[in-house]
Structure 1
Amino acid sequence: MTSNPTHLDRAHPPRVPAAELERLARQYATNPNLEALLRDTGKRSWARLAQAPGVEIWVNSWPAGAETGWHDHAGSPGALAVASGSVVEETWALGAVQCRRLDEGDSGSFDAEHVHNVSGRGQGRSLTVHAYAPRLVEMTEHSLGPEGPEPTRTTREGVDW
């Protein structure tokens, strides 16, 4: 059951260390039933796996070549773990796009200001697990310009996803 976002989630975010978010993502990524939770439709899809006050866990399905587009998590730090397949995460640093490939078993965390683009690069579908604290209530889409990602649009839970 999903609860409605509250002002308290943002006003008093839980202090969940990055290492704990990464541990949670890695733990959920080992679930052998993840594949069955999201039907393989050939399109990127996602589902919330778990939620507690201020923290949530998602699973994402990535067909080869599918991507998020540049975005941030509106102030929510997080972590991701690759359950199967491979993804590439693009970030902006030192005046250029930086790429890192994450394969099955790999994980990483990110801070509240992190802007990235993630794409599926496996042979077929890849699955990733994401943990956020505080939980996501909005995300900001960005376009990539010569000076890096620029905010273009804010999307909201219950409206856009």
Structure 2
Amino acid sequence: MGAGELTLERERAAVPAERAADLASYPAGLTLDGLPGRDLTQAELEELVAGISADPERWQHLVGYDAEERVYVSLHRDAHVDVWLLCWTPENDTGWHDHDVSSGAVAVVAGELAENNLTLVGGSRETRVPAGKVFSFGGDHIHRLNGTADRSISVHAYSPPLWRMGQYAVSEAGVLRRISLSYADELRPVD
């Protein structure tokens, strides 16, 4: 394998959605009722969103869709973790963003999400994540999510809890800038 191929292989390995695992492969161990009282690892966040996804009685009544504004509802928040239910239409797009110091996990419960990663060599690289998959990422991860199916549902967990996020815009000249915003603000593309 040449140096260029090795670099591309490392870059591909850094895209969390490409490593999405089956929700069914997670044990039914970590729940909102049994959180350990400390910040969670990425593996624990994956286990948590998998468990919540498998318990639709906890969130099904909150599902709703709006093409103008993505529907999102806080399911849990404490000093170490917060959990959100997000409902997507194809028009819903987070824009480029990070989660500041928080690691996160996403479980796609229904439909499909697209995670986009911005690369310096090839622009945006899209990975489709269908229902039944889960992936996680560290606090240094920058991505863009959008629904690709008519009605998609996902469960997201962050640890430590979100306080600030970075929203990114790429100018026509290709210059990247970051805008800091509250975790309670809706993410959408910055023009």
Name the TM-score, length of structure 2 as normaliser: 0.69
C-alpha RMSD over aligned residues:
2.2
Deviation at 1:31, TM superposition (A): 2.4
Whether the 8 Å contact between 1:95 and 1:147 is mirrored in structure 2 is no
Deviation at 1:16, TM superposition (A): 1.9
The correspondence for 2:139, drawn from 71, 95, 112, is 112
Q: Deviation per CA, 1:16-51, whole angstroms, max 9, x where unpaired? A: 211101111111112224342133333311111112
Matching of residue 98 in structure 1 with residue 125 in structure 2: yes
Whether the 8 Å contact between 2:65 and 2:88 is mirrored in structure 1 is no
Equivalent residue number for residue 189 of structure 2: none
Separation (CA, whole Å) in 1 of partners of 2:140 and 2:173: 16
Equivalent residue number for residue 54 of structure 2: 30
Equivalent residue number for residue 135 of structure 1: 161
Whether the 8 Å contact between 1:83 and 1:127 is mirrored in structure 2 is yes
**Greater strand share, 1 or 2?**
1
| Compared CA separation, residues 66 and 138, structure 1 to 2 (3 A) | same
Identity of aligned residues (%): 30
Equivalent residue number for residue 66 of structure 2: 41
Structure with the greater alpha carbon radius of gyration? 2
Separation (CA, whole Å) in 2 of partners of 1:31 and 1:133: 21
Mind listing any 5+ residue stretches in structure 1 that lack a counterpart?
1-13
Separation (CA, whole Å) in 1 of partners of 2:88 and 2:51: 19
Equivalent residue number for residue 81 of structure 1: 107
Whether the 8 Å contact between 1:81 and 1:105 is mirrored in structure 2 is yes
Q: Deviation per CA, 1:45-80, whole angstroms, max 9, x where unpaired? A: 111111232211111110123110001011111110
3-state DSSP of counterpart to 1:107:
strand
Corresponding letter in the other structure for 1:39: G
Deviation at 1:94, TM superposition (A): 5.6
| Compared CA separation, residues 29 and 152, structure 1 to 2 (3 A) | same
| Compared CA separation, residues 103 and 148, structure 1 to 2 (3 A) | farther
Deviation at 1:91, TM superposition (A): 0.8
Mind listing any 5+ residue stretches in structure 2 that lack a counterpart?
1-37, 187-191
Whether the 8 Å contact between 1:35 and 1:127 is mirrored in structure 2 is no
Matching of residue 55 in structure 1 with residue 81 in structure 2: yes
Name the TM-score, length of structure 1 as normaliser: 0.80
Deviation at 1:144, TM superposition (A): 3.1
Separation (CA, whole Å) in 2 of partners of 1:144 and 1:15: 33
Equivalent residue number for residue 68 of structure 1: 94
